[in-house]
Amino acid sequence: MVEVKVEAGICGFVTEVKAFLEDEQNVGLKVTSNCEKISKLANRIVTLDAYNEIKEGFNGELYKVIREELTGCCSGCAVPVGLFKSMQVAANLALPKDINIKITKK
């Protein structure tokens, strides 16, 4: 199982993802968040075909749901990449490594 915690930024919302391999290519996701939009999105992506998601990239089911649920200012949310990376690592298609986004306005 893979556990990911995303602190989305100025909104203050925190999302936790538990991703687990159901078989050789399907990944189950258990997502908890204090963000209403992420919680709604999570209800639609309980299981993902990891190989298909990687093949399709931004045209896959995960990003299709993300485009439908995260509109407006939420389009810049950091959670989607956390969901995708957790799926990749759970399916043994990527190595676990933290992702950092540092923003500095000068």
- Classify the C-alpha dihedral 75-79-80-82 as positive or negative: positive
User: Which helix (DSSP H) or strand (DSSP E) does residue 39 occupy?
Assistant: helix 36-42
Q: What is the number of helices (H) and of strands (E) in the chain?
A: 4, 4
pLDDT tens figures, 34-81? 999 999 999 999 999 999 999 999 999 999 999 999 988 788 899 999
For the chain, domains (ranges, CATH) are: 2-90 (3.90.1010)
Residue whose entry in the numeric block shows the structure tokens 């999105």? 41
The model's pTM: 0.93
Amino acid at 10: I
State the pLDDT at residue 9. Answer: 87
Residues 6+ apart with CB under 8 A from 67: none
